[in-house]
Structure 1
Amino acid sequence: MKKELKIAATIFVVVFIIDQVVKYGFANLGWDVDGPYMSLKLAYNYGVAFSMFSFLEHYLKYIQLVIVLIATIYLFMNKTVFKEYYLPIALLFAGGLSNILDRFTYGGVVDYFYWHYGFEFAIFNFADVMIDLGVVIIIYKQIKQSREEKKKNGI
């Protein structure tokens, strides 16, 4: 368990710092770049994915902090879950807490990746990608585990 915690903490710190440094550059140093397929353009998201719940703009950071606190308590009480999923948990917590920090620092989440070739896609950031990667890893592990159980039970 100690090894997993060290790895998770390292991943958390690295992802969190990279995300915050990049966001600082876009928010304060004007790192915007226009491209033919994708642009790097500063935008603030006052809601969650695709700006949903933006009407909760001022309360969202507190709601999200409560969710992170509940998840932390759950993991503390279920150490086997953490041991099994420490990598995606580190990615989820780093991305989630970095986005929450944006809400306190900038008033909204700093987004900057803007895909606009062929179709326009939502603007997102590195933390969002890490959150998505964490979810994909969890889903992959769940599918793999389900298949192994079916094979073991002869189904």
Structure 2
Amino acid sequence: MKREFKLAVAIFIAIFIIDQVVKFGFANLGWDANGSVMSLKLAYNYGVAFSMFSFLDEYLKYIQLFIVVLGSIYLYKNIYLFKEYYIAIGLLYAGGLSNILDRFTYGAVVDYFYWHYGFEFAIFNFADVMINVSVAIIIFIQIRNNRREKNLKEKSSL
């Protein structure tokens, strides 16, 4: 368990720092760049994905922090889940808490990846990508575990 915790913390620290440094560059140093497929363009998201819930304005950061606290309590009470999903949890916490810090620092989440080739896609950031990667890892582990259970049941019924 110590090994998993140390690795999750290392992942968290690395992703969190990288994301905050890049966001600082876009918010304060004008790192914008235009391309034919994708542009790097500063945008502030006052909501969550696709600006949903932006009407919650100042309350959103506190709601999100409350959700993180609830999730942490749940993981503490179900430590076996942490052991199985520690990489995804490190990525998820890094991305989520980095975006929450943006709300306290900039008043909104700093976004900068803008895909515009063939279709226009929402502007997003590195933390958003890490959150999606963590969800993909969780889904992968769930599918793998379900297949293992199914195979064990089939073998035991023979």
2:87 corresponds in structure 1 to 87
1:28 corresponds in structure 2 to 28
1:118 aligned to 2:118?
A: yes
Q: Secondary structure at the match of 1:153?
A: helix
1:51 corresponds in structure 2 to 51
Superposition RMSD in Å: 0.8
Residues paired across the two proteins, number:
155
The percent identity for this pair of structures is 71
Please list every run of 5 or more consecutive structure 1 residues that lacks an aligned counterpart in the other structure. none
1:127 corresponds in structure 2 to 127
1:103 aligned to 2:103?
A: yes
1:43 Cα deviation from its structure 2 partner: 0.1
Give the TM-score of the pair, scaled to structure 2. 0.97
In 2, Cα distance between the equivalents of 1:47 and 1:139? 25
1:62 corresponds in structure 2 to 62
1:91 Cα deviation from its structure 2 partner: 0.3
Q: Moved runs in structure 1, 4+ residues, more than 4 A?
A: none
Q: Secondary structure at the match of 1:107?
A: coil
In 2, Cα distance between the equivalents of 1:70 and 1:63? 11
In 1, Cα distance between the equivalents of 2:145 and 2:139? 10
Q: Which amino acid aligns with 2:111?
A: D
1:144 aligned to 2:149?
A: no
Q: Secondary structure at the match of 2:86?
A: helix
Give the TM-score of the pair, scaled to structure 1. 0.99
Per-residue CA deviation, residues 24-69 of structure 1 (Å, 9 max, x unaligned), is: 0000000000000000000000000000000011100000000000
In 1, Cα distance between the equivalents of 2:5 and 2:78? 14
Q: Secondary structure at the match of 2:24?
A: helix
Per-residue CA deviation, residues 113-132 of structure 1 (Å, 9 max, x unaligned), is: 00000000000000000000
Q: Secondary structure at the match of 2:122?
A: coil
Pick the structure with greater CA Rg: 2
Q: Secondary structure at the match of 2:110?
A: strand
